[in-house]
A and B are shown apart, each in its own frame.
Chain A
């Protein structure tokens, strides 16, 4: 039972354009959502988060949107840069634990 889903395994974007990564969840008890970025041979690193009481959080080029009624969140990267090429994991928290999605591999080409 996948509680956090990232239905797109990969995404290719040109440098300077917007990257939009999507995530859906099923458990309405989740109260906080995070995005992690992972480069090969490294551990995931925290990118940005959003509380369930908000619908948007912005940090530089990264913005996360939350639509609670649809149980959907998205990460926007504007403008995309080649260094953004990585695997992005969506995660949701509930009861001290994180539940991760399966990840989306983003490739930003020059």
Chain B
């Protein structure tokens, strides 16, 4: 029962480097989300997807890109990392069926930009 799996769990980058965070879910969920969590700020939505091949901007999308080429995967890319992107990143997914299904979260990726 893997649920939502995020890789990697930790990463340190230098300013200007690029990287991709991978989120995979095995629950056949339509909706997927990327959040960042910063001290004192809760979780803020970066981008989300309502189905394979779709993406949409959330609250804090600048500096990030996403892709949903396969239903089970949602990728978050940083093209040119900045220290302000140091954060813990969480991926989540949820089913469409039924009203207000809760989101299921991965265990996070802790990213440090030096």
Interface residues of chain A, those whose CB is within 8 Å of chain B, are 4, 6, 9, 31-32, 34, 36, 41-46, 49, 51, 89, 93, 96-103
Residues of the A chain whose Cβ atoms lie less than 8 Å from the Cβ of B108 = 41-43
A32-B42 in contact (CB<8A): no
Interface residues of chain B, those whose CB is within 8 Å of chain A, are 4, 31, 33, 35, 40-45, 48, 50, 58, 90, 92, 99-100, 102-108
**Identity of the chain B residue whose Cβ is nearest the Cβ of A44 in the assembled complex:** B105
Which one of B48, B102, B106 has the highest number of Cβ atoms from chain A below 10 Å of its Cβ? B102
B106-A43 in contact (CB<8A): yes
4 A-B pairs with the lowest CB-CB distances in the bound complex, closest first: A43-B105, A46-B102, A100-B42, A102-B42
- Could you write out 16 A-B pairs with CB less than 8 Å apart? A9-B40, A31-B100, A32-B99, A34-B102, A41-B107, A43-B90, A43-B105, A96-B48, A97-B33, A97-B45, A97-B58, A98-B43, A100-B42, A102-B40, A102-B41, A103-B42
A-B contact sample (12 more), CB < 8 A, given A31-B100, A102-B41: A6-B42, A9-B40, A36-B105, A42-B108, A43-B90, A43-B92, A43-B107, A89-B43, A96-B31, A98-B45, A98-B103, A100-B44
